Structure 1
Amino acid sequence: MKVLLVGPDRDGLGDALEAEGVELTRIEDVANRPALEDAGVVEADALVLTETESATGIPVAKDLNDDLHVVVYTADDLPDFARGQADLIVDPELLSAEAVAEELAA
C-alpha cells in the first residue's frame, strides 16, 4: 500500500504507518498539483492530511486519482468543500495513530 502524508506529523501517524509496512511519502510543503504529482499521487492508495490548511489538496488529488482514499487525521474542522471528498475524518484524541495505521494497512 502506498500512502501520501500531507502536513506535520505531530501524532506519529507516519511512523505508525511505516511500522505497518506501508510505503509512505511525506509532503511537508503545500499539497499543490506539482507536489502531489512528484510524490506519486497517481499510484497512491491513500492521501492522509494531518492539518486542514492542506484541504485544497484533496480535490486536486482526487482529480488525479479517482480511486484515492482520503483520510483526515486532525482535531481541526475540515472545510465544507473538502468534507464530502474525505473518506474518513478522525480526531487524534479519539483514535490513536497506531489504530488508524492498522486500519489503513489492512
Structure 2
Amino acid sequence: MTMAVVAGPDEDGLGDALEVGGATVNRAGGTAARPQLEEAGIVDADLFVLTDARLATSIPVAKDLNPDVRVVVYARDTVPEFARGQAGHIVDPRLLDAETVAEELL
C-alpha cells in the first residue's frame, strides 16, 4: 500500500483522491518543517505531496529524511529553482484534476 505525506492546504483535494485510490495519507501541519514531517511519517512514506509552493523548503528536508520518497508538487504557484531538481512531478491543478494525478501516482 502506498503511503503519502501531504503538506499544504490541499484545496484541490489530491490527498483525498489518493485516499480514494487506496493510499494511506498523513498530513504535515504548519510549515512542514522537520518535526512536522517526521510526525507525519515521512521516513516511511512513498510520496511527499506539496500543495503550496511557498513551503518548498520542506522538499530538501523530506529528501534528507527519506531519499527514496517521490516528491510531487501540486500547486498553482511557481516552484523555486532550488526545489525543482528534487521534485519528481510538478503539476498545476488547473491543468490536471486531482483524480487524474492520483490515478497516475498510484
- TM-score between the two structures when normalised by the length of structure 2: 0.96
Q: Percent identity?
A: 59
RMSD, aligned α-carbons: 0.7
For residues 88-99 of structure 1, what are the structure 2 equivalents within 5 Å? Answer: 88-99=89-100
Runs of 4+ residues deviating >4 angstroms: none
Per-residue CA shift, 1:27-53, capped at 9, x if unaligned? 231111111111111100010000111
Q: What SS does structure 2 have at the residue aligned with 1:16?
A: helix
Paired residues of 1:8 and 1:28 also in contact (CA < 8 A): no
Greater alpha carbon shift after TM alignment, 89-98 vs 26-35: 26-35
Residue 43 of structure 2 is aligned to residue 23 of structure 1? no
State yes or no: 1:66 paired with 2:64: no
Q: Partner letter of residue 45 of structure 2?
A: A
Letter of the structure 2 residue corresponding to residue 63 of structure 1: D
Residue aligning to 2:81: 80
Matched, 1:32 2:33: yes
Q: Secondary structure at the match of 2:82?
A: helix
* Unmatched 5+ stretches in structure 1: none
Q: Distance in 2 between matches of 1:14 and 1:44?
A: 13
Q: Is the 8 A contact 2:17 2:102 kept in 1?
A: yes
Matched with 2:103 is 102
**Is 1:14 aligned to residue 15 of structure 2?**
yes
Q: What is the distance in 1 between the residues matched to 2:3 and 2:20?
A: 13
- List per-residue Cα deviations over 1:42-87 (Å, max 9, x = no partner): 1000100001111000000100111010000011000011011100
